[in-house]
Amino acid sequence: MIKQLIVDGAYYLNTSSVYQKKKLFFYNLLENSNYKYKKYFDIFMITLIFISVAILIREVKSHINDSLLFFNNYVVSFIFLIEYILRVWVNNSISKIIINQNEYDLMLGERFNISKALKEILKTKFKYMISFKAIVDLLAIIPFFHQLRLLRIFILFRVFKLFRYAKSIQTFTSVVTAKKFEFFTLFIFASIIIFVSSVLIYVMEANNPESSIETIFEAIYWSVVTISTVGYGDISPVTQEGRVVAMFVIIAGIAVFSFTTSLIVTSFTEKLDEIKDMKFINDIAKIKEFYLICGYEKVAKEVVKELSKNSKVIILEEDLEKVELAKKDGFIAVNYNPGSIQSYKKLRINIQTQVKAILCLSHSDVENVYTALTVRSFNKDVFILSILINKTNRNKLKFAGVNEIFYEKELVGIIAKEFAGQPVAFEAIHALRSNYNGVKVEELFISDRVLDSFNIIGDLNNKKYRIVLLGVYKKSKKRFFFNPIDSMILETGDYLLVIGNTVFIKEFDINLHKKVK
């Protein structure tokens, strides 16, 4: 009974639009750097961090008002606690883990194994909780739970939370992480040098009454200061042997410093193009409205000239040479495939609010059809215009969801007259396309929960979700039925073989598990 309640609760949460919207809101607020409200949240959290540190510094030599201390130790800590709990919550989906385990057990003909599901939930949550950022978040909360003055030093860990909110710091961290093996090797080398030199200088200097090195700690301190090429001068060798050791340590320090510098420079050089792309993507996100041109041919060049007089224009082109040519012509162009969903995800273009119209201007009807199908797979409203190279492909472009089709020779004049600076109408259509651009074949398991709402093939209403049902595998008959009739009865253990866009298959699967009866 309890197991069934847990499974029903998981399905309810997974199919609840209210719950999923709230979870998506907090995920965007905490993790999605392109979410419009995240920057305000980041500024708020950074402000709290600096206030906490300022109060801690002030408290060292001055009395702090009790209300201010209460604010720092409790109010700020409570806010960080809520943030920590929300991050743990949105990190992964408990309901999906339970659903996956339940469907796996049903497929094997076994009862729901709740212990496996709990182990997987604990494993995924614990994996996040032991990550560096999560540990820093947790340490930043500690002043909330303790009154001891010594433990207030954990407030300083709130400074490390800046890594979450400062993009420049995140960029630098990603650059350094790319060379983590080289830096680890350098760290091992430096550690060996420090260890050996510390022992040597201690042996050479410790018994000399004039030497300032009396303990092994002082020897280690001298080695670190020397190898870092800082050289404070507060501790220095007085014996001839000790000075020989110092010369070798100084040379090793120069080598370590040079190697470190070269690693950082190399990392930034290798990541420079990626950093530029990130900046460009962020710049695109700030543009309120623009025309998206897919392909850069002779016609596209003339069209862009006309449209750019009154509006912003961005060119999507797969050919790098054409991208460089477009940039030389003074236009904004990026080297992405307009027929790939991944291109739009990487660019983070909001088709619904930013794009006034999409113009498919490649000199290949096939590429234009692919581009239109790709856009329609995730947006049904945006206005799409395409040139037509071969008359026989007109219907293909219409089926792909193109709103307006023009012959190449007529296009420039019509675009300049009708579309430059004018508002664009929107219509809807969606079509499936190749696996490379988001369409996949997937098996959907028929459980008892599905049968509570759907008994026959005709009840599934898969056409509503633009899903093509290729066939049904009947477990009882151990046979696959291609293109089944609407009256075919569904049974527990059956599999639906469907083809369609990944997003719509997900929506269709969610609908299957909703209790509509």
412 pLDDT tier (thresholds 50, 70, 90) = very low
The lowest-confidence range among 271-280, 293-302, 431-440 is 431-440
Q: Do domains 180-277 and 438-512 have the same CATH topology?
A: no
Mean pLDDT of 374-394: 87
Number of separate helices (H) and strands (E) present in the chain = 22, 10
The pLDDT confidence band at residue 151, using thresholds 50, 70 and 90, is very low
* Mean predicted lDDT score pLDDT of the chain: 79
pLDDT at position 86 is: 92
Tell me: pLDDT of 437 over 80. Answer: no
Q: How far apart are CA 311 and CA 331, in angstroms?
A: 12
Closest CA to 100 of 113, 85, 109, 90: 113
CATH of domain 180-277: 1.10.287.70
Contact between 215 and 222 (Cβ < 8 Å)? no
Q: For residue 278, give Cα distances in angstroms to 93, 118, 163, 312, 321.
A: 29, 39, 18, 19, 21
Cα dihedral sign for 488, 494, 497, 500?
Answer: positive
Q: Which pLDDT score, from 0 to 100, does residue 165 have?
A: 61
pLDDT at 439: 64
Q: Mean of the pLDDT values across residues 450-470?
A: 84
Please state, as a whole number, how many other Cβ atoms lie within 10 Å of the Cβ of residue 101.
22
Percentage of residues in the chain having pLDDT higher than 70: 85
> What is residue 419's predicted lDDT score, i.e. its pLDDT?
40
In the predicted model, what is the mean pLDDT of residues 419-433?
Answer: 35
- Region 62-69: mean pLDDT is 81
**May I ask the CATH architecture of the domain 438-512?**
2-Layer Sandwich (3.30)
Say if residue 355's pLDDT is above 50: yes
CATH level 2 (architecture), domain 288-418:
3-Layer(aba) Sandwich (3.40)
The pLDDT > 90 percentage for the chain reads 4
pTM assigned to the model: 0.51
Please tell me which of 170-174, 254-258, 476-480 the model is most confident about, judged by mean pLDDT.
Answer: 254-258
Residue 416 pLDDT grade (very low, low, confident, very high; cuts 50, 70, 90): very low
- The domain ranges of the chain are 2-165, 180-277, 288-418, 438-512
Binned at pLDDT 50, 70 and 90, residue 294 comes out as very high
- Give which of 271, 226, 292 is closest to 253, Cα–Cα: 226
Q: What does the pLDDT average to over 246-265?
A: 85
Q: Reduce the secondary structure of 138-163 to three states and give it as a string.
A: HHCCHHHCCCCCHHHHHHHHHHHCHH
Query: How far is the CA of 220 from the CAs of 197, 206, 387, 486, in angstroms?
Result: 8, 13, 73, 80
pLDDT for 163 equals: 62
316 closest CA partner among 267, 368, 392 = 368
In terms of DSSP H, where are the helices of 329-364? 341-347
